[in-house]
Protein backbone atom coordinates (compact mmCIF):
# COMPACT_ATOMS: atom_id res chain seq x y z
CA UNK A 1 0.00 0.00 0.00
CA UNK A 2 1.45 3.35 -1.07
CA UNK A 3 1.95 5.78 1.77
CA UNK A 4 0.45 9.25 1.89
CA UNK A 5 3.27 11.80 2.18
CA UNK A 6 2.37 14.64 4.56
CA UNK A 7 4.41 17.81 5.08
CA UNK A 8 4.20 19.93 8.25
CA UNK A 9 5.22 23.58 7.68
CA UNK A 10 6.61 25.30 9.71
CA UNK A 11 7.72 22.30 11.75
CA UNK A 12 9.08 23.73 14.99
CA UNK A 13 6.16 24.89 17.12
CA UNK A 14 3.91 23.06 19.59
CA UNK A 15 1.11 22.41 17.09
CA UNK A 16 3.66 21.05 14.59
CA UNK A 17 4.81 18.54 17.20
CA UNK A 18 1.18 17.52 17.79
CA UNK A 19 0.77 16.94 14.04
CA UNK A 20 3.95 14.85 14.06
CA UNK A 21 2.78 12.78 17.03
CA UNK A 22 -0.67 12.28 15.49
CA UNK A 23 0.64 11.10 12.12
CA UNK A 24 4.14 9.61 12.47
CA UNK A 25 3.01 6.25 13.86
CA UNK A 26 0.25 5.73 11.27
CA UNK A 27 1.27 2.83 9.03
CA UNK A 28 0.01 4.49 5.82
CA UNK A 29 1.47 7.97 6.46
CA UNK A 30 5.00 9.26 5.81
CA UNK A 31 5.61 12.52 7.70
CA UNK A 32 7.96 15.32 6.66
CA UNK A 33 8.80 18.54 8.47
CA UNK A 34 10.07 21.78 6.92
CA UNK A 35 10.93 25.20 8.33
CA UNK A 36 12.25 28.58 7.32
CA UNK A 37 13.57 29.30 10.82
CA UNK A 38 15.31 26.62 12.88
CA UNK A 39 13.40 25.67 16.00
CA UNK A 40 12.52 22.28 17.47
CA UNK A 41 11.58 20.43 14.31
CA UNK A 42 14.93 18.86 13.53
CA UNK A 43 14.83 17.06 16.89
CA UNK A 44 11.48 15.43 16.10
CA UNK A 45 11.11 14.80 12.40
CA UNK A 46 13.08 11.95 10.83
CA UNK A 47 12.44 13.53 7.44
CA UNK A 48 13.33 17.18 8.01
CA UNK A 49 13.94 19.97 5.49
CA UNK A 50 15.54 23.24 6.57
CA UNK A 51 16.23 26.62 4.97
CA UNK A 52 12.86 26.93 3.24
CA UNK A 53 12.37 30.54 2.03
CA UNK A 54 10.00 32.74 4.03
CA UNK A 55 6.49 33.03 2.61
CA UNK A 56 7.09 36.70 1.77
CA UNK A 57 10.06 35.78 -0.46
CA UNK A 58 9.44 36.21 -4.22
CA UNK A 59 10.87 32.71 -4.80
CA UNK A 60 8.89 30.96 -2.06
CA UNK A 61 6.22 29.34 -4.24
CA UNK A 62 8.72 28.03 -6.80
CA UNK A 63 11.09 26.67 -4.15
CA UNK A 64 8.26 25.23 -2.10
CA UNK A 65 6.81 23.44 -5.13
CA UNK A 66 10.27 21.99 -5.87
CA UNK A 67 10.29 20.63 -2.33
CA UNK A 68 6.82 19.14 -2.78
CA UNK A 69 7.65 17.47 -6.10
CA UNK A 70 11.03 16.11 -4.94
CA UNK A 71 9.50 14.50 -1.87
CA UNK A 72 6.23 13.50 -3.58
CA UNK A 73 4.18 15.35 -0.97
CA UNK A 74 0.43 14.74 -1.11
CA UNK A 75 -0.84 16.91 1.77
CA UNK A 76 0.52 20.00 3.55
CA UNK A 77 -0.44 21.22 7.04
CA UNK A 78 0.33 24.91 7.67
CA UNK A 79 0.93 25.50 11.38
CA UNK A 80 0.96 29.30 11.67
CA UNK A 81 -1.99 31.61 11.06
CA UNK A 82 -0.09 33.79 8.59
CA UNK A 83 1.14 30.74 6.68
CA UNK A 84 -2.38 29.28 6.61
CA UNK A 85 -3.70 32.60 5.32
CA UNK A 86 -1.01 32.68 2.61
CA UNK A 87 -1.72 29.13 1.48
CA UNK A 88 -5.48 29.75 1.46
CA UNK A 89 -4.95 32.69 -0.91
CA UNK A 90 -2.55 30.72 -3.14
CA UNK A 91 -3.98 27.20 -3.13
CA UNK A 92 -4.14 27.04 -6.91
CA UNK A 93 -0.39 27.67 -7.15
CA UNK A 94 0.72 24.99 -4.67
CA UNK A 95 1.46 21.48 -5.98
CA UNK A 96 -0.21 19.59 -3.13
CA UNK A 97 -3.43 19.55 -1.14
CA UNK A 98 -3.40 22.16 1.64
CA UNK A 99 -5.29 21.46 4.88
CA UNK A 100 -6.81 24.92 5.12
CA UNK A 101 -10.13 26.64 4.54
CA UNK A 102 -10.89 28.79 1.49
CA UNK A 103 -9.39 32.28 1.20
CA UNK A 104 -12.52 34.08 2.46
CA UNK A 105 -12.75 31.92 5.57
CA UNK A 106 -9.03 32.18 6.30
CA UNK A 107 -9.12 35.98 5.97
CA UNK A 108 -12.10 36.29 8.31
CA UNK A 109 -10.59 33.97 10.91
CA UNK A 110 -7.26 35.81 10.78
CA UNK A 111 -8.88 39.18 11.60
CA UNK A 112 -10.98 39.40 14.76
CA UNK A 113 -12.64 42.60 13.55
CA UNK A 114 -13.90 40.72 10.47
CA UNK A 115 -14.88 37.76 12.64
CA UNK A 116 -17.01 39.87 14.95
CA UNK A 117 -18.54 41.78 12.03
CA UNK A 118 -19.67 38.51 10.44
CA UNK A 119 -21.33 37.24 13.62
CA UNK A 120 -22.52 40.57 15.08
CA UNK A 121 -26.19 39.60 14.87
CA UNK A 122 -25.74 36.44 16.95
CA UNK A 123 -25.97 36.48 20.74
CA UNK A 124 -22.62 34.70 21.13
CA UNK A 125 -20.72 37.60 19.57
CA UNK A 126 -19.12 39.80 22.25
CA UNK A 127 -19.89 43.48 22.45
CA UNK A 128 -17.42 45.49 20.36
CA UNK A 129 -16.95 49.18 21.19
CA UNK A 130 -15.98 51.94 18.79
CA UNK A 131 -15.45 54.33 21.69
CA UNK A 132 -14.69 53.71 25.35
CA UNK A 133 -17.43 54.62 27.82
CA UNK A 134 -16.80 52.27 30.75
CA UNK A 135 -14.23 49.96 32.31
CA UNK A 136 -13.11 47.21 32.63
CA UNK A 137 -12.80 46.19 28.98
CA UNK A 138 -10.56 43.99 26.92
CA UNK A 139 -8.39 44.83 23.94
CA UNK A 140 -6.79 42.42 21.50
CA UNK A 141 -4.89 42.83 18.21
CA UNK A 142 -7.08 42.48 15.14
CA UNK A 143 -4.54 39.98 13.85
CA UNK A 144 -2.76 37.89 16.44
CA UNK A 145 -2.55 34.52 18.11
CA UNK A 146 -1.67 32.97 21.46
CA UNK A 147 -3.07 35.94 23.44
CA UNK A 148 -0.05 38.02 22.35
CA UNK A 149 -0.88 41.70 22.81
CA UNK A 150 -4.24 41.03 24.44
CA UNK A 151 -4.85 42.89 27.67
CA UNK A 152 -7.44 43.65 30.35
CA UNK A 153 -7.87 47.42 30.69
CA UNK A 154 -9.13 48.72 34.05
CA UNK A 155 -8.69 52.48 33.49
CA UNK A 156 -7.61 55.04 30.92
CA UNK A 157 -3.97 54.96 32.07
CA UNK A 158 -3.63 51.35 30.92
CA UNK A 159 -4.65 52.07 27.34
CA UNK A 160 -1.97 52.02 24.60
CA UNK A 161 -1.51 55.30 22.71
CA UNK A 162 -2.67 53.88 19.40
CA UNK A 163 -5.74 51.65 19.33
CA UNK A 164 -6.08 51.47 15.55
CA UNK A 165 -4.78 47.87 15.35
CA UNK A 166 -6.90 46.64 18.25
CA UNK A 167 -10.45 45.41 18.73
CA UNK A 168 -12.08 46.78 21.89
CA UNK A 169 -14.41 44.24 23.50
CA UNK A 170 -16.47 43.67 26.59
CA UNK A 171 -14.60 42.03 29.48
CA UNK A 172 -15.48 38.35 29.84
CA UNK A 173 -14.75 37.17 33.40
CA UNK A 174 -15.86 33.53 33.06
CA UNK A 175 -14.25 30.21 32.17
CA UNK A 176 -12.70 29.65 28.75
CA UNK A 177 -12.97 26.67 26.40
CA UNK A 178 -11.41 25.69 23.11
CA UNK A 179 -13.73 23.70 20.84
CA UNK A 180 -12.10 21.29 18.37
CA UNK A 181 -14.08 20.66 15.17
CA UNK A 182 -13.90 18.65 11.96
CA UNK A 183 -15.72 19.41 8.70
CA UNK A 184 -15.79 17.29 5.55
CA UNK A 185 -15.38 18.56 1.99
CA UNK A 186 -19.16 18.93 1.63
CA UNK A 187 -19.34 21.27 4.62
CA UNK A 188 -20.82 18.73 7.02
CA UNK A 189 -19.72 19.21 10.62
CA UNK A 190 -18.55 15.76 11.75
CA UNK A 191 -17.12 16.38 15.21
CA UNK A 192 -17.26 18.89 18.09
CA UNK A 193 -15.28 18.55 21.31
CA UNK A 194 -15.11 21.32 23.95
CA UNK A 195 -12.05 21.29 26.22
CA UNK A 196 -11.18 23.53 29.14
CA UNK A 197 -8.22 25.93 29.28
CA UNK A 198 -7.32 25.79 32.96
CA UNK A 199 -3.64 26.72 32.76
CA UNK A 200 -1.80 28.38 29.89
CA UNK A 201 1.81 28.65 28.83
CA UNK A 202 2.59 31.15 26.05
CA UNK A 203 -1.06 31.02 25.02
CA UNK A 204 -1.09 27.20 24.82
CA UNK A 205 -3.21 25.08 27.14
CA UNK A 206 -1.01 23.01 29.47
CA UNK A 207 -3.82 21.84 31.74
CA UNK A 208 -7.36 20.99 30.70
CA UNK A 209 -9.94 18.28 30.16
CA UNK A 210 -12.74 17.36 27.81
CA UNK A 211 -16.03 19.04 28.68
CA UNK A 212 -19.68 18.29 27.98
CA UNK A 213 -20.98 19.33 24.57
CA UNK A 214 -23.97 21.45 25.53
CA UNK A 215 -26.74 22.59 23.20
CA UNK A 216 -25.41 26.15 23.47
CA UNK A 217 -21.89 25.19 22.36
CA UNK A 218 -23.18 22.88 19.62
CA UNK A 219 -25.38 25.68 18.27
CA UNK A 220 -22.42 28.09 18.15
CA UNK A 221 -20.29 25.50 16.32
CA UNK A 222 -23.00 24.86 13.72
CA UNK A 223 -23.60 28.58 13.11
CA UNK A 224 -19.87 29.19 12.61
CA UNK A 225 -19.61 26.17 10.30
CA UNK A 226 -22.63 27.30 8.26
CA UNK A 227 -21.32 30.84 7.79
CA UNK A 228 -17.76 29.88 6.79
CA UNK A 229 -16.23 27.22 4.54
CA UNK A 230 -14.04 24.85 6.51
CA UNK A 231 -12.28 21.72 5.27
CA UNK A 232 -10.78 19.30 7.77
CA UNK A 233 -9.83 20.35 11.29
CA UNK A 234 -10.49 23.77 12.81
CA UNK A 235 -11.26 25.23 16.22
CA UNK A 236 -12.77 28.18 18.04
CA UNK A 237 -12.47 29.64 21.52
CA UNK A 238 -15.29 30.84 23.77
CA UNK A 239 -15.47 32.49 27.17
CA UNK A 240 -18.38 33.13 29.53
CA UNK A 241 -19.66 36.66 30.17
CA UNK A 242 -21.04 38.12 33.40
CA UNK A 243 -24.40 36.46 32.66
CA UNK A 244 -22.81 33.01 32.26
CA UNK A 245 -23.38 33.02 28.48
CA UNK A 246 -20.74 31.86 26.01
CA UNK A 247 -19.11 34.53 23.84
CA UNK A 248 -16.80 34.00 20.90
CA UNK A 249 -13.12 34.90 21.24
CA UNK A 250 -11.59 33.68 17.97
CA UNK A 251 -11.67 31.06 15.22
CA UNK A 252 -8.73 29.33 13.53
CA UNK A 253 -8.33 27.06 10.51
CA UNK A 254 -5.04 25.44 11.59
CA UNK A 255 -4.18 22.62 13.99
CA UNK A 256 -4.18 23.59 17.67
CA UNK A 257 -1.33 22.45 19.88
CA UNK A 258 -3.74 20.85 22.32
CA UNK A 259 -5.73 18.83 19.79
CA UNK A 260 -3.81 16.02 21.46
CA UNK A 261 -6.69 15.96 23.96
CA UNK A 262 -9.19 15.10 21.21
CA UNK A 263 -6.71 12.50 19.92
CA UNK A 264 -6.45 11.07 23.43
CA UNK A 265 -10.20 10.44 23.24
CA UNK A 266 -9.61 8.43 20.06
CA UNK A 267 -10.36 11.17 17.51
CA UNK A 268 -7.21 11.83 15.49
CA UNK A 269 -8.21 15.09 13.78
CA UNK A 270 -4.99 15.46 11.74
CA UNK A 271 -5.29 11.92 10.37
CA UNK A 272 -9.00 12.34 9.61
CA UNK A 273 -8.18 15.63 7.87
CA UNK A 274 -5.63 13.85 5.66
CA UNK A 275 -8.27 11.28 4.72
CA UNK A 276 -10.83 14.00 3.99
CA UNK A 277 -8.46 15.86 1.69
CA UNK A 278 -7.44 12.62 -0.04
CA UNK A 279 -11.10 12.10 -0.89
CA UNK A 280 -11.81 9.10 1.34
CA UNK A 281 -15.52 8.36 1.70
CA UNK A 282 -17.44 7.39 4.84
CA UNK A 283 -15.34 9.22 7.43
CA UNK A 284 -16.60 8.04 10.82
CA UNK A 285 -15.77 9.22 14.33
CA UNK A 286 -14.74 6.85 17.12
CA UNK A 287 -14.96 8.88 20.32
CA UNK A 288 -14.07 6.74 23.34
CA UNK A 289 -16.61 6.99 26.16
CA UNK A 290 -14.22 8.00 28.94
CA UNK A 291 -13.40 11.43 30.30
CA UNK A 292 -9.80 12.53 30.13
CA UNK A 293 -7.66 15.15 31.81
CA UNK A 294 -4.39 16.44 30.40
CA UNK A 295 -1.51 18.13 32.18
CA UNK A 296 1.91 18.81 30.68
CA UNK A 297 5.07 20.77 30.86
CA UNK A 298 6.90 19.98 27.64
CA UNK A 299 5.21 16.62 27.08
CA UNK A 300 1.63 15.40 27.48
CA UNK A 301 0.46 13.25 30.34
CA UNK A 302 -3.00 11.70 30.64
CA UNK A 303 -5.30 10.17 33.21
CA UNK A 304 -8.43 8.31 32.13
CA UNK A 305 -11.32 7.29 34.36
CA UNK A 306 -11.18 3.67 33.21
CA UNK A 307 -9.28 1.13 35.33
CA UNK A 308 -8.17 -1.85 33.27
CA UNK A 309 -6.63 -5.13 34.43
CA UNK A 310 -6.02 -6.80 31.07
CA UNK A 311 -4.67 -5.62 27.71
CA UNK A 312 -5.41 -7.31 24.39
CA UNK A 313 -2.85 -6.21 21.83
CA UNK A 314 -2.22 -6.84 18.12
CA UNK A 315 1.22 -7.75 16.75
CA UNK A 316 1.84 -6.67 13.12
CA UNK A 317 2.32 -2.90 12.78
CA UNK A 318 1.38 -2.52 16.45
CA UNK A 319 4.16 -4.17 18.43
CA UNK A 320 6.24 -4.14 15.23
CA UNK A 321 7.02 -1.08 13.15
CA UNK A 322 9.01 -0.81 9.89
CA UNK A 323 10.32 -4.39 10.18
CA UNK A 324 11.49 -3.70 13.71
CA UNK A 325 10.02 -3.11 17.15
CA UNK A 326 7.83 -0.19 18.19
CA UNK A 327 9.86 0.96 21.19
CA UNK A 328 7.03 2.93 22.78
CA UNK A 329 4.72 -0.10 22.70
CA UNK A 330 7.42 -2.35 24.19
CA UNK A 331 7.85 0.26 26.93
CA UNK A 332 4.13 0.02 27.61
CA UNK A 333 4.23 -3.80 27.74
CA UNK A 334 6.96 -3.73 30.38
CA UNK A 335 4.98 -1.08 32.24
CA UNK A 336 2.07 -3.54 32.35
CA UNK A 337 4.38 -6.20 33.76
CA UNK A 338 5.55 -3.82 36.50
CA UNK A 339 1.95 -2.95 37.42
CA UNK A 340 0.67 -6.53 37.38
CA UNK A 341 -1.58 -5.95 34.35
CA UNK A 342 -2.06 -9.03 32.17
CA UNK A 343 -1.23 -8.72 28.47
CA UNK A 344 -2.72 -11.07 25.87
CA UNK A 345 -1.32 -11.08 22.35
CA UNK A 346 -4.12 -11.48 19.78
CA UNK A 347 -2.80 -11.75 16.25
CA UNK A 348 -3.43 -12.87 12.67
CA UNK A 349 0.32 -13.06 11.98
CA UNK A 350 0.77 -15.25 8.88
CA UNK A 351 4.05 -16.85 10.00
CA UNK A 352 4.94 -18.78 13.14
CA UNK A 353 4.36 -16.12 15.83
CA UNK A 354 6.68 -17.83 18.31
CA UNK A 355 9.53 -17.89 15.79
CA UNK A 356 8.93 -14.22 14.88
CA UNK A 357 8.95 -13.22 18.56
CA UNK A 358 12.23 -15.07 19.01
CA UNK A 359 13.78 -13.35 15.98
CA UNK A 360 12.80 -9.95 17.42
CA UNK A 361 14.09 -10.90 20.91
CA UNK A 362 10.63 -10.41 22.41
CA UNK A 363 10.06 -12.72 25.35
CA UNK A 364 6.88 -14.78 25.34
CA UNK A 365 6.84 -14.20 29.11
CA UNK A 366 5.50 -10.70 28.41
CA UNK A 367 2.18 -12.30 27.47
CA UNK A 368 -0.28 -14.11 29.71
CA UNK A 369 -1.68 -15.73 26.56
CA UNK A 370 -0.96 -15.76 22.82
CA UNK A 371 -4.16 -16.03 20.75
CA UNK A 372 -3.49 -16.97 17.11
CA UNK A 373 -6.44 -16.28 14.79
CA UNK A 374 -7.33 -16.96 11.19
CA UNK A 375 -7.49 -13.97 8.77
CA UNK A 376 -11.31 -13.98 8.72
CA UNK A 377 -11.80 -14.20 12.49
CA UNK A 378 -13.28 -11.29 14.44
CA UNK A 379 -11.04 -10.42 17.35
CA UNK A 380 -14.06 -9.30 19.35
CA UNK A 381 -15.13 -12.96 19.63
CA UNK A 382 -11.95 -13.80 21.56
CA UNK A 383 -11.88 -10.87 24.01
CA UNK A 384 -13.39 -10.93 27.48
CA UNK A 385 -14.44 -7.29 28.02
CA UNK A 386 -14.34 -7.10 31.83
CA UNK A 387 -11.77 -4.42 32.79
CA UNK A 388 -10.10 -4.82 29.39
CA UNK A 389 -8.71 -2.55 26.68
CA UNK A 390 -7.76 -3.31 23.08
CA UNK A 391 -4.77 -1.98 21.09
CA UNK A 392 -4.56 -2.43 17.32
CA UNK A 393 -3.35 -0.29 14.42
CA UNK A 394 -6.28 -1.52 12.28
CA UNK A 395 -9.32 0.76 12.35
CA UNK A 396 -11.51 -2.12 11.13
CA UNK A 397 -10.50 -4.24 14.12
CA UNK A 398 -10.88 -1.36 16.60
CA UNK A 399 -14.35 -0.36 15.44
CA UNK A 400 -15.49 -3.98 15.54
CA UNK A 401 -14.30 -4.41 19.14
CA UNK A 402 -15.64 -1.01 20.19
CA UNK A 403 -19.10 -1.59 18.74
CA UNK A 404 -19.44 -5.18 19.95
CA UNK A 405 -17.80 -4.99 23.39
CA UNK A 406 -17.89 -1.27 24.32
CA UNK A 407 -14.38 -1.27 25.79
CA UNK A 408 -11.81 1.48 25.12
CA UNK A 409 -9.74 0.88 22.00
CA UNK A 410 -6.44 2.48 21.07
CA UNK A 411 -4.44 3.04 17.89
CA UNK A 412 -0.64 3.00 18.05
CA UNK A 413 -0.55 6.81 17.89
CA UNK A 414 -2.67 6.82 21.06
CA UNK A 415 -0.40 4.69 23.25
CA UNK A 416 0.68 7.81 25.18
CA UNK A 417 -2.74 7.82 26.83
CA UNK A 418 -1.78 4.58 28.58
CA UNK A 419 1.74 5.57 29.67
CA UNK A 420 2.44 5.88 33.38
CA UNK A 421 5.32 8.35 33.83
CA UNK A 422 5.67 7.89 37.58
CA UNK A 423 9.02 6.48 38.73
pLDDT in tens, 161-176: 667 778 888 889 999 9
Q: pLDDT of 89-133, one tens digit each? A: 999 999 999 999 999 999 999 999 999 999 999 999 998 887 777
Average pLDDT over residues 285-309: 91
300 phi and psi angles, rounded to 5 deg: -100, 140
334 pLDDT tier (thresholds 50, 70, 90):
very high
> Hey, what domains does the chain have and what are their CATH numbers?
4-99 (3.40.50.20), 101-303 (3.30.470.20), 306-418 (3.40.50.1000)
Residue 313 pairs in a beta bridge with: 345, 391
Contact between 166 and 137 under an 8 Å Cβ cutoff? The reply is no
Average pLDDT over residues 352-361: 96
pLDDT at 158 over 80: no
How far apart CA 17 and CA 43 sit, in angstroms, is 10
How far apart CA 122 and CA 290 sit, in angstroms, is 33
3-state secondary structure (DSSP) of residue 163? coil
pLDDT at 340 over 70: yes
Task: Name the residue with higher pLDDT: 37 or 299.
Answer: 37
How far apart CA 74 and CA 31 sit, in angstroms, is 10
Cis peptide bond upstream of 10, omega within 30: yes
pLDDT at 23 over 80: yes
Measured in whole angstroms, the distance separating CA 108 from the mean position of its chain's CA atoms is 22
Q: What is the pLDDT of residue 153?
A: 74
Total-model pTM: 0.86
Percent with pLDDT over 90 in the chain? 80
Q: What is the gyration radius of the CA atoms in the chain, in angstroms?
A: 23
Q: What is the pLDDT of residue 149?
A: 60
Measured in whole angstroms, the distance separating CA 86 from the mean position of its chain's CA atoms is 21
Which of 169-183, 293-307, 382-396 is predicted with the least confidence, judged by mean pLDDT? Answer: 293-307
Q: What is the pLDDT of residue 297?
A: 81
Side-by-side strand order, sheet with 388-391: 369-372, 342-347, 310-313, 388-391, 409-410
Task: Name the residue with higher pLDDT: 66 or 157.
Answer: 66
Average pLDDT over residues 187-206: 92
User: Which long-range contacts link 222-228 to residues 24+ away (Cβ below 8 Å)?
Assistant: 222/189, 223/119, 223/122, 223/124, 224/119, 224/248, 224/251, 225/181, 225/183, 225/187, 225/189, 226/187, 227/118, 227/119, 228/101, 228/104, 228/105, 228/108, 228/109, 228/118
Average pLDDT over residues 175-192: 96
Amino acid sequence: MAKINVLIFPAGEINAIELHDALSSCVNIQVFGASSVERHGKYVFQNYISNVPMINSPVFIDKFNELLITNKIDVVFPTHDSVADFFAANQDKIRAKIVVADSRTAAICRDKEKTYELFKNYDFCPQVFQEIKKYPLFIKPKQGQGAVGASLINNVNELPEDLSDYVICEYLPGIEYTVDCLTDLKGKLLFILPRSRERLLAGVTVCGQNEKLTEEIEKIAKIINNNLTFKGLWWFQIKKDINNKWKLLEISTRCAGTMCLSRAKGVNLPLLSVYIFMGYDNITILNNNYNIRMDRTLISRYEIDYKYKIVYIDFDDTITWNNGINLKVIWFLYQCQNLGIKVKLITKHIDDIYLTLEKLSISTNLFAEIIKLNPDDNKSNYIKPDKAIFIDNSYKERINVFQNLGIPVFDVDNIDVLMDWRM
